[in-house]
Amino acid sequence: MKSLVSVIVPVYNESENLYELHRRLTEVMSETGHDYEIVAVDDGSTDDTGEILRELSKKDPRVRAVILSRNFGKEVAMTAGLDHSHGEMVIPIDADLQDPPELIPAMIARADEGFDVVYAKRKQRKGEGVLKLATASLFYRFINMISSVNIPENTGDFRLMRRTVVNAVGMLRERKRFMKGLFAWVGYRQTEISYDREARFAGTTKWNFWKLWNFAIEGITSFSSLPLRVWSYLGAGIAVLAFVYAIIAIIRVLRYGIDVPGYASLLVVTLFLGGLQLITLGIIGEYIGRMFEEIKARPLYLVREVYGRGEELAAGPGARQTKRINPGRKKISGRKSGR
């Protein structure tokens, strides 16, 4: 008997895409011959996304709708989907259909060759501007340069993972989550499969420049402490230059007498050093803020309702237990962290 495949779909205000996504996923998964489930996590949507997910869970017994109590962010919503998955193979996919469900059979075929992770690497990214493509490439090159974990470039969350890998990721309960880095950190046998990424099927992206900037900061501070160390080196270099300049000043005074010019240059140096100090404090603050969030040890997310298949979650590290909830029945529950 073929193993169960779980498709994880974190959604936030994606009502325009859900019916088409469900149709294409159903067609593709039926062709694979595997039993499957679709775990859709509503991350506090403000449109009718939740209602559509409830409707789909009533019509299709393979759909489970996990409704979070508020918006926790895509990374946490994806974690909730992984926690609620049953399958021996688990595939996160975005709801905007930029990542084609039709690639799933090829992923399963590569997994059958013995790989634990099959990640989808983008050859082309339609519908994205030159600036976004350039900054994305620069980000991945930079983070791989300063981090001990290699994160594949031009890859998103679209990938196939075996249950062993999902359980390993489930043990990582940090609150500031950069899932691409966590998927790479756990290791195991990984391979890639290339594809052309399509433009959005409908709706508009929820990402803007500020969110992408903060997301990049999350990734860098999650997987490298170099931004902290570099300021020690820079400070030591400035101290050496200051010492050399002091020696030069003493020699000039001994040779030419007292000289008091340089007000403008002194002001520039003072402002420059003051700016460096503020930047240093800001970087230290980023890391202290991460420590502050982790120390509070709040749950990653809270579940308001679950609709659809409600069997107990697959056993293993990182899995959470939930009670059966029949379609249409509401249940308010808290999700505890993996401590």
pLDDT digits (tens, 9 = 90+) for 15-30: 888 888 888 888 888 8
Is residue 14 within 8 Å of residue 45, measured between CB atoms? yes
What is the phi-psi region of residue 318: left when phi exceeds 0, alpha when psi lies from -120 to 50, beta otherwise? left
Place 170 in a pLDDT band, splitting at 50, 70 and 90. confident
Q: Report which of residues 189 and 308 the model is more confident about.
A: 189
Q: What share of the chain is helix, strand, coil (3-state, %, to 5)?
A: 50, 15, 35
What is each CA distance from 26 to 37, 63, 88, 267, 278, in whole angstroms? 10, 10, 18, 67, 54
Quick one: which of 3, 76, 88, 90 has its CA closest to 41?
76
What is each CA distance from 18 to 12, 49, 103, 257, in whole angstroms? 11, 8, 18, 81
Q: Which fold has domain 5-223+299-334?
A: Spore Coat Polysaccharide Biosynthesis Protein SpsA; Chain A (3.90.550)
Lowest mean per-residue pLDDT among 63-72, 198-207, 303-312: 198-207
For the chain, percent of residues with pLDDT exceeding 90: 2
Is residue 315's pLDDT more than 60? no
* 3-class state of residue 209 by DSSP: helix
The residue extents of the domains of the chain are: 5-223+299-334, 226-296
Tokens of 90: 């688990």
Burial 125-136 (b: 16+ CB within 10 A, else e): beebeeeeeeeb
Is residue 334's pLDDT more than 50? no
Quick one: which of 182, 178, 174, 179 has its CA closest to 299?
174
Task: Kindly report, residue by residue over 211-262, the tens digit of the pLDDT.
Answer: 666 666 776 767 666 777 777 777 777 777 777 777 776 777 677 766 556 6
Q: What gap in Å lies between CA 328 and CA 66, rounded to an integer?
A: 12
In one letter, which amino acid is 307?
Answer: Y
The reported pLDDT for the residue numbered 129 is 62
What is each CA distance from 87 to 3, 173, 241, 269, 294, in whole angstroms? 7, 20, 60, 61, 29
